[in-house]
Amino acid sequence: MGKRIAIFLLLTILFIPYGCKDQRLEEPLKPYVSESYVIVDDDVELRFKTVGNGPETVIITPAIYLEYEFEKLIDGSRTLVFYDVRGRGKSSKIVDSSRIGMDIEISDLEALRLHLGKETISLIGWSYHGAMVALYASQYSSHINRVIQVGAVAPTAEIQKRAASTPLDRKSQALLNNLREEGLDKTNPEQFCLEYKNIYMKRIFYDPSKINLFLSDRCTCENEMPENVTFHLNAIFASIDEWNWMEKIRDLEVPVLAIHGDSDPSCPLEGARIWISLCRNARLLVVPNAGHMPFVEQPELFYPSVDTFLKGEWPERAEVVGVPIPLK
């Protein structure tokens, strides 16, 4: 289906749609904030939030997980654009799995870039979105300044299957079923979501005591209830099946920085090494004592490293895995 792009609605920061609400007690001082929607596929609304008004545009996804965390990157040199992919966060709910997929998300990201009117952008993607932004860069390299993958899904299904733990494993699913049998999903959906979050997030952190440091309102959103998250992830991975993106990524020349926790149970560190070895201008930053959310567990290393890379330099601890060329 062709993309028809149009601005839908400009919102104040306090108006949160799709059943979401802002639970932060304090609003950090920001130079500029707006929340808007772009319509794609005629009826799908992608929600995005713009923070700052600097000359460099950095698009970050998924917003529902990262927008409060990554506000630490605000400075006068850049504009941060956080967005939720279709079917997640504060974007439109999708009930037809055929309208969810990796290629569709890549097309949606291009629609957002065109709507923003930006010739070049930098990208940050976490988890499977880390793979998505790299695939976008391989397809639209002329529009890319830099790419950051955070805890990215491996470039092949074979490597990804070596993950030690995922939010959808049998044990987590059994615990979720127990909560459902108790009726908590019907009597208090938000509490049900929070309980489930605690079940699986303990398994993706190196240090589970740091879970409460993670800032997100995702359990206030209908799209982030466990059933919809499971539906969405199943649709994404069904769309790529036994994937192998090695040829698509091979010889990608835009600067790529992969940041990966050394104890990530959800996405194997081996996958990050292969991503970087395939690219001609890439390095890997392994974050010690961190799981799938290194930005939460080791922020003192994570954010200065991202800031350094966005400013055109390699972080000091970033390692060469492939054959690099000078950073552009």
Mind listing the pLDDT tens digit for each residue in 110-139? 999 999 999 999 999 999 999 999 999 999
CA distances from 173 to 160, 161, 230 (A): 19, 18, 10
Q: Give the burial class of 33: count Cβ atoms within 10 A of its Cβ; 0-12 exposed, 13-18 middle, 19 or more buried.
A: middle
Q: What is the DSSP string of 278-295?
A: HSSSEEEEEETT--S-HH
Pairing of strands 144-150, 121-126: parallel
Residues 6+ apart with CB under 8 A from 270: 154, 159, 162
Q: Give the burial class of 248: count Cβ atoms within 10 A of its Cβ; 0-12 exposed, 13-18 middle, 19 or more buried.
A: middle
What is the gyration radius of the CA atoms in the chain, in angstroms?
19
Q: How many whole angstroms separate alpha carbon 148 and alpha carbon 245?
A: 17
Average pLDDT for 101-113: 98
- Residue 108 near residue 37, CB atoms below 8 Å: no
Q: How many whole angstroms separate alpha carbon 285 and alpha carbon 314?
A: 10
DSSP 221: S
Is the entire prediction scored with pTM above 0.85? yes
Nearest to 9 by CA among 36, 48, 30, 27: 36
247 band by pLDDT with thresholds 50, 70 and 90: very high
- Boundaries of every domain in the chain: 6-162+240-320, 168-202
- Residue 291 near residue 265, CB atoms below 8 Å: yes
Mind listing the pLDDT tens digit for each residue in 7-46? 222 222 223 333 465 443 345 545 588 899 999 988 999 9
- The confidence score (pLDDT) of residue 30 equals 54
Give the orientation angle of helix 170-181 with respect to helix 189-201, to 10 degrees.
160
Nearest to 240 by CA among 137, 163, 153: 153
Residue 49 main-chain phi, psi, to 5 deg: -120, 130
CA distances from 77 to 45, 73, 81 (A): 29, 10, 13
Average pLDDT for 36-65: 94
- The confidence score (pLDDT) of residue 44 equals 96
* Residue 215: alpha-carbon gap to chain centroid: 14
84 band by pLDDT with thresholds 50, 70 and 90: very high
Q: Which helix (H) or strand (E) holds 309?
A: helix 299-310
Q: How many whole angstroms separate alpha carbon 111 and alpha carbon 99?
A: 15
Q: What is the DSSP string of 130-198?
A: HHHHHHHHHHSGGGEEEEEEESPPPSBHHHHTT-S--TTSHHHHHHHHHHHHTTHHHH-HHHHHHHHHH
168 band by pLDDT with thresholds 50, 70 and 90: low
Which residue type sits at 40? Answer: V
Nearest to 256 by CA among 129, 79, 133: 133
Q: What's the CATH fold of domain 6-162+240-320?
A: Rossmann fold (3.40.50)
- The confidence score (pLDDT) of residue 235 equals 97
